[in-house]
Amino acid sequence: MAENHKKAAGRLCYLCNQRRAALKRPKTLEQICRECFYEVFEEEIHQVIVKNQLFKPGERIAIGASGGKDSTVLAYVLSELNRRHNYGLDLFLLSVDEGITGYRDDSLETVKRNEIQYGLPLKIVSYKDLYGWTMDEIVKMIGLKNNCTFCGVFRRQALDRGAALLKVDKLVTGHNADDIAETVLLNILRGDIARLSRCTSITTGEDGPIPRCKPFKYTYEKEIVMYAYFKRLDYFSTECIYSPNAYRGFAREFIKDLERMRPRAILDIIKSGEDFRISTSTKMPEQGTCERCGYISSQKWCKACVLLEGLNKGLPKLGIGRSRGLDNNHRKDVKQSNGTKNIEGKQCGSLDF
Cβ atoms of 221 and 67 within 8 Å: the answer is: no
Say whether 64 counts as a known binding-site residue. Answer: yes
pLDDT tens string 10-52 = 799 999 999 999 999 999 999 999 999 999 999 999 999 999 9
Cβ atoms of 81 and 49 within 8 Å: the answer is: yes
In 3D space, the residue among 195, 177, 153 whose CA is nearest the CA of residue 304 turns out to be 153
| CATH superfamily entry for domain 37-275 | HUPs (3.40.50.620)
Percentage helix, strand, coil for the chain under 3-state DSSP, each rounded to 5:
45, 10, 45
Report d(CA 25, CA 33) in Å as an integer.
10
Given a cut of 70, the residues of the chain with pLDDT beneath it are 1-9, 244-246, 277-285, 319, 321-353
Report d(CA 135, CA 154) in Å as an integer.
10
At residue 339, the pLDDT reads 35
Q: What is the DSSP letter of 17?
A: S
- Of all residues in the chain, what percent carry a pLDDT higher than 70? 84
At residue 3, the pLDDT reads 46
Say whether 67 counts as a known binding-site residue. Answer: no
Please report, for residues 175, 217, 334, the alpha-carbon distance to residue 249 in angstroms, rounded to integers and kept in the order given.
Answer: 15, 19, 36
Say whether 325 counts as a known binding-site residue. Answer: no
Say whether 349 counts as a known binding-site residue. Answer: no
Cβ atoms of 310 and 319 within 8 Å: the answer is: yes
Say whether 327 counts as a known binding-site residue. Answer: no
Q: What is the DSSP letter of 217?
A: T
pTM for this predicted structure: 0.84
Report d(CA 41, CA 227) in Å as an integer.
8
Report d(CA 159, CA 114) in Å as an integer.
18
In 3D space, the residue among 245, 216, 208 whose CA is nearest the CA of residue 74 turns out to be 216
Report d(CA 199, CA 183) in Å as an integer.
7
CA angle (39 as vertex; 35, 43 as ends), nearest 5: 175
Q: What is the DSSP letter of 218?
A: T
At residue 8, the pLDDT reads 44
| Pairing relationship of beta strands 60-64 and 170-172 according to DSSP bridges | parallel
Cβ atoms of 125 and 162 within 8 Å: the answer is: yes
At residue 295, the pLDDT reads 84
Say whether 207 counts as a known binding-site residue. Answer: no
Contacts of 114 (CB under 8 A, 6+ apart): 65, 67, 72, 75, 93, 120, 122, 234
C-alpha torsion angle, residues 223, 116, 63, 146 (rounded to 10): 80
Taking the domains of the chain in order of start, what are their residue ranges? 37-275, 288-318+327-338
Distance of CA 265 to the CA centre of its chain: 21
Amino acid at 306: V
Largest distance between two CA atoms of the chain: 79
Say whether 288 counts as a known binding-site residue. Answer: no
